[in-house]
A = this chain, B = another copy of it.
Amino acid sequence: MPDKYLNTTMPMTVRMRRSPFFNRSQEGGAKGHIVYNNMFIATHFDTPESDYQHLKRAVQLWDVGCERQIEIQGPDAAKLVQMSTPRDISTMLPDQCFYIPTVDRDGYMTNDPVLLQVEPDRYWVSIADSDLMLYYKGLAAGLNLDVTIHEPDVSPLGIQGPLADNLAERVWGADAASIGFFRHTRVDVAGKPMILARSGYSLQGGYELYYEGADGSDELWDLLMSAGGDLDIRAGAPSQTERVEGGLLSYLSDITSDMTPFEAGLGHFCHVDRETGCLALDALRKKAQPVRQVRPVTIAGEPVPPMTGFWQVTDTSGAPVGRISSAVYAYTYHENIAIGLIDRSHWNVDTELLVHTSNGTRSAKIRSGFPGRQAKS
């Protein structure tokens, strides 16, 4: 596909749903959207670089209502969740958030959600962009499991950036603001207890509030904006540059449904040595030594153009050895950082490669890590 088609216009139709925070996010200056789980999510507000710099220094409110929840409730709820993921969920504490790669029976990725236990025998699976609910419904139907499965009216609100802690402490108190990474608690939102988790799609710290219903969403947004007035709080959205710098993968680009968790570099979440009940255990045991895997890549030269399709990766003689799925000019590091899916023969650190971008071939090299993640560890 040529890269000459960078943008299009999109009508905001009935079938593209909006979260209760959509209007406030629009008023905050959302300048474009993509569609995610049949909902809109904003792409940028000021320039992408300005949004990025602000995210790294202040605090932003993100309408990430497109992270839909699948509620699975009943005596077989944990069993059903476990069948679909190689991660051992029996060790999850009641206040933990568990990142769970989900797979079909052959071990191929179906989503990469975050799992929460709302109460005993009641889970929320906070999904990336696929109708994972249909997999659970099919499995439950086939095995006649004692569960109910539905999409509750829950729309996460991201509170992201280094000043997110200050904001949360002001609004919900020091105890709420001091929860650990990927832990959750309940906070009072206009009289209703809602789940606040220390999580989010950035490396800058912050929270996700699992907002229930639609009533009062404007008021909550306004309350947070007001409480954060001196923290330079703004409306925002996930930053492509920040998340690629940090090595946060995106389902449907960096992770596709023809990949295993091992290929996606998620082998540490695959407890295939335990009899967890995951239906793909046997399949994944055979696929634990992948021949291609996600790798951080540096692309030489000027800032890379926007990507509208995968870029082929070859060795220096031109033989295909993989693809680039995301690439950005990293403002902080003054170089192009990319996420590649690279053949084993060429995935070692410092291997020299060629990346065939939409404006020419560049030299490239396998990195030892993603700089945004290293800075945090």
Is the CB of A9 closer than 8 A to any CB of chain B?
yes
- Identify the interface centre among A2, A8, A83: most chain B CB within 10 Å of its CB: A8
Is the CB of A331 closer than 8 A to any CB of chain B?
no
A140 touches B12 (CB 8 A): no
B138 touches A14 (CB 8 A): no
Q: How far is the CA of A43 from the CA of B104 in the complex (A)?
A: 34
Closest to A18 in B: B1
> Contacts A142-B143, A307-B14: A104 and B9 contacting too (C-beta < 8 A)?
no
From residue A132, how far is it (CB to closest CB) to chain B in Å?
6
Q: Mark A163-182, 1 if CB is under 8 A from B, else 0.
A: 00000000000000000000
B137 touches A137 (CB 8 A): no
B141 touches A134 (CB 8 A): no
Q: How many copies does the complex hold?
A: 2
Looking at the complex, which one of B9, B131, B132 makes contact with A10 (CB distance below 8 Å)? Answer: B9
Is the CB of A130 closer than 8 A to any CB of chain B?
yes
A140 touches B141 (CB 8 A): no
B35 touches A35 (CB 8 A): yes
B105 touches A137 (CB 8 A): yes
A130 touches B131 (CB 8 A): yes
A15 touches B253 (CB 8 A): yes
A310 touches B137 (CB 8 A): no
Q: Mark A114-143, 1 if CB is under 8 A from B, else 0.
A: 000000000000000111101111111111
Interfacial chain B residues near A93, Cβ < 8 Å = none
B253 touches A13 (CB 8 A): yes
> Contacts A34-B13, A34-B16, A130-B131: A137 and B26 contacting too (C-beta < 8 A)?
no
> Contacts A142-B141, A252-B38: A326 and B135 contacting too (C-beta < 8 A)?
no
Between-chain CB contacts (< 8 Å), 14 pairs: A1-B23, A5-B26, A7-B11, A8-B33, A10-B10, A10-B35, A11-B32, A12-B308, A14-B310, A104-B134, A105-B137, A135-B135, A136-B138, A141-B142
Known: A8-B12, A15-B34, A15-B129. 19 other contacts (CB 8 A): A1-B22, A2-B23, A5-B26, A7-B9, A8-B33, A9-B10, A9-B32, A10-B33, A10-B34, A14-B309, A16-B34, A34-B35, A38-B252, A104-B141, A105-B137, A105-B141, A110-B134, A134-B138, A139-B141
